[in-house]
Amino acid sequence: MLIYLQTIDTPEQRSKFELLYREYRGLMFHVANRILENEQDAEDAVHQAFLKIAEHLDRIGEPVCPKTRGFVVTVAENKAIDLYRRRKKHPCVELDETLPGVPAPYEGENVLAGCILQLSARYREALLLRYGYGYSLRETADLMGVTVSAATQIIHRAKIKLRTLYEKEERT
């Protein structure tokens, strides 16, 4: 809520916005979630709606009244619909980490390098960026286009898979 309050100038306006926020955030989330059917997207829509309300706070007379309730619900609905349309226009494709990727030829007797080449492209990329080229975790995440926590998870899974492949090769 501090982000919203920074955009508001007067203390009266801030207290009005705080009252609006406390009174209607649950209702706005429910409306947005009903449209989007996704809690994270609904939270985004409510956030955008509150930013819009903060911009037009001077148009609101009484914070707790049916007219204001209708206004905030309408803003939340519109933001949810906008987000829904954007998501439909640019659908999100789930990452399949099991795809093998482009094969990298390697001829040699290094068992570990051979095992790394057997990993999926995503796992191989994560390990090479982090340990082969020495990038930090944040840099690795940026280069891969994922969050730091996602990069951490990918590297963790890659290590487990690499360990399994290595142990399998050592036994044969």
Q: Is the pLDDT of residue 2 over 60?
A: no
DSSP string, 76-112: HHHHHHHHHHHHHHSPPPPP-TT---S-----SS-HH
Report how far residue 154's alpha carbon sits from residue 65's, in angstroms, rounded to the nearest whole number: 50
pLDDT, tens digit (0-9, with 9 covering 90-100), for 30-79: 999 999 998 999 999 999 999 898 888 888 889 899 999 999 999 999 99
- Considering the entire predicted model, what is its pTM? 0.52
> Does pLDDT of 8 surpass 70?
yes
- Give residue 152's pLDDT band: very low, low, confident or very high (50, 70, 90): very high
pLDDT for residue 94: 59
The dihedral built from the CA positions of residue 71, 72, 74 and 75, taken in this order, carries a sign that is: positive
Domains of the chain plus CATH, in order, are: 2-89 (1.10.1740), 111-171 (1.10.10.10)
Q: Is the pLDDT of residue 99 over 70?
A: no
101 Rama class: left (phi>0) / alpha (psi -120 to 50) / beta = left
